[in-house]
Every structure is written in structure tokens, then in C-alpha cells.
Amino acid sequence: MVDMHAIEAIIQIYGQELAEQHPVHLYEIAADFSADNTLKLKGRVLLEYQKKEIIKRIRPVWTGRIENNIVSSERLDFLWAHSSVPLLHVYEDMVSERLATQYRPDEWLKVLAGSGKYRLVLGEDMAMGWVIEEHVIYDLQEGHENKWLHLQIPRGSAADADMDEDELIRTATSYLEIPYLRGGRSRQAVDCSAFLQLVFLETAGLLLPRHSWEQKECGSSVAITDTGLWLAGDAVFGISKRSNQKHVGLCIGENQIIHASRRMGSVVIWDLDTFCKLYAIQAVRRFVRQSD
């Protein structure tokens, strides 16, 4: 006999995880059984893969038939809009690392929810943020999803595109002394993950996810124990030994790393020994193939 309490507990725990990842109310998952003993799931999640994940978690306690009627926001028809100005989206009780980002002028957005003064939107890099209603321009025409097709998010292995090492270093170092700003995503101010994102977008045409915890899952893995294996273009992810804050920097060769440093207040170059002394290294990722 199936333990409905176990299924409900699984759904509740997963819902809490999703709420922590994306702290907005876009998750409503419920389950019940039909007369033919089919487990019926219904509700709403943000991303398509989350529909499969909930079934994967339920399977150990229920091997019978499952009817999945959960819808994802990726499959819903949203209003399309684009931003008229770049904004820093950190407002009052909405303060969250995962909702702190800027959108470029004329970047295409999906309007997910909201009423009154604010709208919750999804940017081209899949980062959510709150925008002020008067700063978005709505466009109800179809086909704007094609605006995203030239941007590639590498996941699982290094991308096929070559990357010129000298060009990467020139692009990265052109950001030197640009101020650090949490949520910043422009040449006026950047945070560490936005700096990484912008350098790869400008150098290789690759759009990485917005936040370091997402970027860390992209590309191919490089051994973290031997800095001699780290090449220019490798991203080094760590946690501050002092503040426990997540951080990422970009190797530029000659035992150096460039990063947008909250501690220093701007984009700076450090030697790798200093970086590794101050940050506990979690991962090193390679997003593109270095050209010969």
C-alpha cells in the first residue's frame, strides 16, 4: 500500500528547495490518486526539467502509474517585453542574490508575474529579477524566442567553438578597475559572475548562466589540486574563508587570475597563490576550447 504521507513529504521538501533557488511564488505541486490507482500530479513549476525531477524523487516510494499534469512556465505563453534602461533589481523585501541582476537596454524579457509597481521577469540568460513596470516596453508579437537562438549556454562539456587566448585576456583586462556592484552587469559596474558572463559573451559569443552556482555546472571539469593544469580561460570557483561568500575568477595565464572583487571594490588581477589562500576552491571549469 502506498504511503501518501511519504509522497506529500517528498513534494514538500522539493518545493522548499525550489523556493530557495528562486524565491518567488511560482511553485504549486499537489498529488492525489484516481479511482484506477493512478497518481496524479498537478500544479506549476518554473522550468521544464523540474517536472521530471519530481517524478524521479517519487519513484522510490511509488512504482505505479503517474499522470504528470504539472505545467512549467517555459511552456506557457508569456508577455514579451524589453527593458528601456538597465536596472539593478534589488528592492526592499525582494533582496536576494538570485534576484539581483541588471538587464541590458533592449534585452528581451519574459514577464512572469507581478502587479502594481513591479514585474517579475526572466532575462536572456534565464536570470530572474524584479523590474519597475514603467521601465519595460511590452511587445505582443510572436516569434521573439528567436532572439535567443544565437546565444549558447554550454553545459556538460567544453563548447566546440575555439577561443583566442589573447583576445580573452584583452577583453578581461579591459574591465580592470571597473567598480564592483552586487547585481551589476555592465561596464559601469559588475559583480564576479556577471564579469565572467560578459567576458565569454564578448569573446566567444557564449552566454553563461547569470549566477556562479549555475556557472559551476557548465563546461568540463579541470582538476582543482594542480594549478599547473589551469589554462587561460578557465573559471575558478571558490568560497571566501573569511565571509563564506561564493566567488569566481578567470585565469589569464602566468599564474594570474582576474576577478571582480567585493573586497577590493573593483575588477583586479591577483596571483593564483593569493586567490587560493583566501578562497577554498570548489571547482575549476573550462567552457570553450583554446585555439592553437
Is 276 in the active site?
Answer: no
Cβ distance 183 to 100 under 8 Å? yes
Note whether 69 and 84 are same-domain residues: no
Note whether 214 and 91 are same-domain residues: no
Q: What is the pLDDT of residues 73-97, one digit of tens each?
A: 655 455 555 555 555 444 444 445 5
In this structure, is residue 154 part of a structural domain? no
Residue 239's domain is classified under what CATH number? 3.90.1720.10
Q: Which of 82, 89, 211, 247 is catalytic?
A: 247
Instruction: Of 57-61, 68-72, 132-136, 160-164, give the range with the top mean pLDDT.
Output: 57-61
Q: What is the C-alpha to C-alpha distance for residues 267 and 208, in angstroms, rounded to an integer? A: 19
Single residue among 17, 48, 75 that ends a domain in this structure: 75
Range of the domain at 31: 4-75
Single residue among 23, 40, 75 that ends a domain in this structure: 75
Cβ distance 201 to 212 under 8 Å? no
- pLDDT tier, 281 (very low <50, low <70, confident <90, very high otherwise): very high
Residue 126's domain is classified under what CATH number? 2.30.30.40
Single residue among 20, 45, 75 that ends a domain in this structure: 75
Note whether 174 and 275 are same-domain residues: yes
Contacts of 260 (CB under 8 A, 6+ apart): 175, 178, 180, 190, 191, 192, 194, 195, 266, 267
Note whether 165 and 270 are same-domain residues: yes
Q: Which of 89, 192, 211, 218 is catalytic?
A: 192
Question: What residues pair up with 40 in beta bridges, in sequence order?
Answer: 32, 67
- pLDDT tier, 150 (very low <50, low <70, confident <90, very high otherwise): very low
Cβ distance 233 to 250 under 8 Å? yes
Q: What is the C-alpha to C-alpha distance for residues 188 and 146, in angstroms, rounded to an integer? A: 28
Note whether 128 and 61 are same-domain residues: no
In this structure, is residue 23 part of a structural domain? yes
Coil, helix or strand for 108?
Answer: strand
The residue-averaged pLDDT of 31-46 equals: 86
In this structure, is residue 245 part of a structural domain? yes
Note whether 265 and 193 are same-domain residues: yes
Is 22 in the active site?
Answer: no
Q: What is the pLDDT of residues 238-267, one digit of tens each?
A: 999 999 999 999 999 999 999 999 999 999
Question: What residues pair up with 266 in beta bridges, in sequence order?
Answer: 179, 261
- pLDDT tier, 288 (very low <50, low <70, confident <90, very high otherwise): confident
Count up the domains in the chain and report the number: 3
Note whether 10 and 61 are same-domain residues: yes
Residue 72 has pLDDT above 70, yes or no: yes
Note whether 20 and 65 are same-domain residues: yes
